[in-house]
C-alpha cells in the first residue's frame, strides 16, 4: 500500500520503520530533520501534510496530542473521502468521538508501551472503530509493531482511547509510587538499589524493573524512552475527563512531579527523571 505517515518523533519513527519493507511509505514531520532516519532507510519525505497524503491508500498519524491532530488533520480537512485514517496519537475518549464524527474512516489505534517494545514489535495496541471490516484491515496493518496477545480490536475510537488512558494512568501513578518509595527508603537509611530489591513482589515491581536502570544511574534520563512532556500531557487528558478536583488525586500528585521537571527544562527527558530527581534535583 501507499501509506502517508505523519509524525516521526521517537515513537512514530519506530512504528513507521516496521512498514518500510512491505509498503510505499511517505513521511512528514513538522521538524523535517526528524524524518531523516526513515528517509535514509527508503521512505520518501513530504514537505507538507497535504503532499504526504496525496494518493495515499492509508493515512497514519502519531502526533503529540489532540490539539496537534486538530491543527494538522482536521482544520485543513486533510483526509480525502474514503481513505482510512489510523491515529496512534494518545487522545481522550471525547477527542476520539469528535474525530470520528469529522472523519467517518477514523480508526483510533493508540499503542501501549515504550520504545523498546516498539522496536521489538511487542507493543499493546487498541484498534477502535465500529466498522468491522476496517477494524480487521487496520489490525493487520499494525500487527508488525504489536504483541499478538496484546492486539485488541474494540468497537469505537473512544473505547480505544479509554484503554490507552487507563494504561498511562497506571504508569503515572506507579512512577509517583516509586518516587515516594525511594524517598521513604532513603530517609530510613536504605540505598536505592536495595530499595528496588525490597520492592520485588510488590505492586511497584513492574515500574521498579522498568526504571531501575535510571535509578541506579546506568541510563541517562536525557536519552530515555517516554518523555515527561508526553506523560504530563496524558495526565492532563485524564484529569480533564474527570474534572472533579476530589477525584484522581494520585494522578494529580504525579502531574505535580512532572511539572516540577518541566519547570527545570527537563520536559524532554524520560519521565523517570521525576522519580530520581526533585524539582531542583542535584
- Predicted TM-score (pTM) above 0.85: yes
Q: Which residue has cell 505517515? A: 5
Helix H or strand E encompassing 44 = strand 44-45
> What is the C-alpha to C-alpha distance for residues 204 and 232, in angstroms, rounded to an integer?
20
* Residue 151 contacts residue 142 (beta carbons within 8 Å): yes
The reply to whether 282 falls in a domain is no
Residue 51 lies in a domain: yes
Q: Residue 246's CB: how many other CB atoms inside 10 A? A: 7
Question: Within this chain, do residues 214 and 261 fall inside the same structural domain, yes or no?
Answer: yes
Q: How far apart are CA 73 and CA 50, in angstroms?
A: 9
Domain end position, chosen among 132, 155, 178:
155
What's the domain count of the chain?
2
Does residue 201 sit in the same domain as residue 141? no
226 domain-assigned: yes
Q: Do 11 and 148 reside in the same domain of the chain?
A: yes
The answer to whether position 228 is within a domain reads yes
Per-residue CA distances from 31 to 34, 77, 110, 227 (Å): 6, 21, 22, 17
β-pairing, 106-108 vs 85-87, is parallel
What are the C-alpha distances in Å from 56 to residues 3, 63, 79, 116, 144?
5, 18, 10, 29, 20
User: Mind giving me the DSSP string for 205-272?
Assistant: HHHHHHHHHHHTTSS-GGG-SSBHHHHHHHHHHHHHHS--TTS-HHHHHHHHHHHHHHHTT-TTSBTT
Is residue 186 located within the same domain as residue 106? no
**Closest by CA position to 141, among listed 9, 235, 248, 1:** 1
Specify the pLDDT at position 282. 45
Locus of grid cell 526513515: 38
13 lies in the same domain as 140: yes
Query: Domain for residue 281, yes or no?
Result: no
Give the CATH number, domain containing residue 168: 1.10.1040.10
Q: Are residues 40 and 139 in the same domain?
A: yes
| φ, ψ for residue 20, nearest 5 deg | -65, -35
Query: Is residue 40 domain-shared with residue 129, that is, in the same domain?
Result: yes
Distance, in Å, from the CA atom of 22 to the CA atom of 254, rounded to the nearest integer, reads 41
Q: How much helix, strand and coil, in percent to the nearest 5, is found in the chain?
A: 50, 15, 35
Q: What is the largest CA-CA distance in the chain?
A: 63
Structural domain for 232, as ranges = 163-276
pLDDT of 224 reads 83
Position 19 in a domain: yes
133 and 61: one domain? Answer: yes
Question: How much is the pLDDT for 128?
Answer: 98
pLDDT in tens, the chain (282 residues): 999 999 999 999 999 999 999 999 999 999 999 999 999 999 999 999 999 999 999 999 999 999 999 999 999 999 999 999 999 999 999 999 999 999 999 999 999 999 999 999 999 999 999 999 999 999 999 999 999 999 999 999 999 999 999 999 999 999 999 999 999 999 999 999 999 999 999 999 999 999 999 999 999 999 888 999 999 999 999 999 998 878 999 999 999 999 999 999 999 999 999 999 866 544
Q: Are residues 140 and 208 in the same domain?
A: no
Residue 148 CB-half CA count within 13 A: 0
- Predicted confidence at residue 102, as pLDDT, reads 98
**pLDDT given at position 280:** 53
75 within domain boundaries: yes
Determine the pLDDT at residue 221.
Answer: 96
Alpha carbon 16 to chain centroid distance? 14
Q: Is 75 in the same domain as 104?
A: yes
pLDDT computed for residue 223 by the predictor: 87
Same domain, yes or no, for 197 and 64? no
- Residue 244 has what pLDDT? 86
Amino acid at each position: 500500500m501507499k501509506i502517508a505517515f505523519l509524525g516521526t518523533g521517537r515513537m512514530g519513527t519506530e512504528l513507521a520503520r516496521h512498514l518500510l519493507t512491505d509498503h510505499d511509505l511517505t513521511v512528514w514531520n513538522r521538524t523535517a530533520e526528524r524524518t531523516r532516519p526513515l528517509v535514509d532507510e527508503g521512505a520518501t519525505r513530504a514537505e507538507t501534510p497535504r503532499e504526504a497524503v496525496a494518493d495515499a491508500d492509508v493515512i497514519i498519524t502519531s502526533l503529540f496530542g489532540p490539539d496537534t491532530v486538530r491543527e494538522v488533520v482536521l482544520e485543513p480537512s486533510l483526509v480525502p473521502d474514503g481513505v482510512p485514517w489510523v491515529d496512534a496519537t494518545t487522545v481522550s475518549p471525547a477527542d476520539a468521538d469528535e474525530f470520528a464524527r469529522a472523519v467517518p474512516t477514523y480508526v483510533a489505534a493508540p499503542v501501549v508501551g515504550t520504545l523498546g517494545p516498539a522496536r521489538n514489535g511487542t507493543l499493546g495496541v487498541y484498534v477502535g472503530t465500529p466498522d468491522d471490516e476496517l477494524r480487521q484491515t487496520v489490525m493487520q496493518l499494525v500487527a508488525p509493531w504489536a504483541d499478538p496477545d496484546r492486539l485488541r480490536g474494540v468497537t469505537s475510537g473512544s473505547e480505544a482511547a479509554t484503554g490507552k488512558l487507563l494504561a498511562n494512568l497506571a504508569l503515572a501513578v506507579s512512577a509517583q509510587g516509586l518516587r515516594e518509595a525511594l524517598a521513604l527508603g532513603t530517609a530510613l537509611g536504605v540505598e536505592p538499589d536495595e530499595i528496588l530489591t525490597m520492592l520485588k513482589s510488590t505492586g511497584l515491581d513492574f515500574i521498579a524493573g522498568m526504571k531501575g536502570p535510571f535509578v541506579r544511574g546506568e541510563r541517562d534520563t536525557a536519552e530515555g524512552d517516554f518523555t515527561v512532556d508526553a506523560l504530563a500531557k496524558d495526565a492532563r487528558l485524564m484529569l480533564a475527563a474527570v474534572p472533579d478536583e476530589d477525584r484522581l488525586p494520585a494522578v494529580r500528585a504525579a502531574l505535580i512531579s512532572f511539572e516540577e521537571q518541566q519547570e527545570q527544562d527537563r520536559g524532554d527527558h524520560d519521565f523517570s527523571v521525576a522519580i530520581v530527581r526533585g524539582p531542583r534535583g542535584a
